A and B are shown apart, each in its own frame.
Chain A
Amino acid sequence: MPDSCVSFTVLGPVTARTGRTRLPIAAPSQQALLAQLLLHANRTVSASALIDGIYGDAAPRHPEAALQIIVSRLRRALGPIANKLAYDGSGYRIELAAHELDLTRARSHFARGTKAVRHNEMSVAGDAFNDALECWTGDPLAELTKFSFHDAHARCLHEFQFEVLERRNDAYLACGRHADVLRDIDSWIAIEPWREGLRGQQMTALYRAGRQIDALAVYDEIRRLLIDGFGVDPSGEIQTLYGSILRQELECEELRSFRDCHDVFVVDGGPNARWLVAELTDGAAQNDVRRVALADFIAGMTDRLSAELEAKLFS
């Protein structure tokens, strides 16, 4: 990273950096002020909203002076990039280019993924959503729990993170990248064990990896958690998925999703081609139905891509 490069983070610890140097914003109230400005980057936040976000109902006797002191100290901490913190008469704002803030980058990747889904480019979408997910570097705002703005914003960022995750997994599953789903889903479920969407994705991915018993065990686990914890059964969607796995009906869905991705494979000979090679060589294609599907797949590809695949497979 060049020394002149500026970066701010709010999807983890609140930080400001110039190049590799982390600027010393040690005071919690300054971090809280910076976090609020970053969450509304390039928009003016009124002084009263900032004070309310820091103090809530326990406002100091002299709120304007308190804010002035916090702003002044933050400006000093920002040092060479203090000019990014602007005052326009009604409030303060931080002025950033899109690439300078992790939250903006995550939103941009998310939009790219959503667009790719609309174009049925599921592997591209999965990668874009994964890029968005990688913008998180920790538990957002975790060190700022005592400030009144914390709860609502931390909840929003958390929900955004899990929405990105679930969309990524949906995209991966739609183009046969169940191994990519399984790679990290356990760690996410450890954070949100009751999240049925994730459990459903885990069941689907396990089943497609040839682990039907493990997939059924996931259902038993989430069912037990929901009954013990909340006295409710899993949602109808999860129950339907469970039935499909039990009756081995998911195969049809898998074939359909393979065919849905056909165009993607032809257009994108990169990661998808590598996935296909892995599917054919890692033993996962021992299932007859899947093997037929994959063979059908290859047959439908362009000569160029087929030749590339053949070279990779038989070299």
Chain B
Amino acid sequence: MGISHVAVADHGCTFEVWDGDIDGEEVRAHLVRLAEDAHWPPGVLNLVDLSTVGVISVPDPELVALLREGTVLELELRTALIVRPEFLGESAPAYDDAARATGVTAFTELSAACEHLEIPLDVSRRFMELLRSTS
């Protein structure tokens, strides 16, 4: 339960797994952990697995901006979210619109997200499984 991440320089990607109910404090702690991670950001790609989240708090945009300040992410960031089907389309239009507005693209399948970010599926699957097994 919670948020875990791994920054992988070989693929220029940060892999994240968000699991269960996540409050604002846990989100802020996650942002601080990213700031402390000597390998972050490894590049402009971000793959976030939200398929098992419950109720989650949205990251504070001010903190996110601080985190990205002075990094390559100020210029470019490609994020792919993996969400449950009910989060997309007509059943959750507000979420879908918000995702589009921030340049984030949401998918329901890991394979589609990997194709979007041009990361090998087996690599992504390996890191996601690693994160789930250690969180």
A contact set with B: CB distance below 8 Å: 25-30, 60-62, 65-66, 68-70, 72-73, 75-76
Contacts and interface: CB of A to CB of B under 8 A. Distances in A.
B70 A26 contact: yes
A245 to B, nearest CB: 54
10 contacts: A27-B66, A27-B70, A29-B69, A60-B63, A61-B60, A62-B28, A65-B32, A66-B62, A68-B32, A69-B63
B62 A61 contact: yes
B10 interface: no
A73 B63 contact: no
- Would you call the interface of chain A mostly helix, strand, loop, or mixed? helix
Interface string B53-86: 0000000101100110111000000000000000
Interface residues of B, number: 14
A73 B70 contact: yes
Nearest to B33: A72
Contacts of B131: none
Contact of B35 (A25, A62, A69): A69
Contacts of A27: 66, 69-71
Contact of A72 (B32, B60, B71): B32
Interface string B1-39: 000000000000000000000000000100110011010
A28 B36 CA distance: 18
B63 A65 contact: yes
Nearest to B69: A27
A72 B38 CA distance: 10
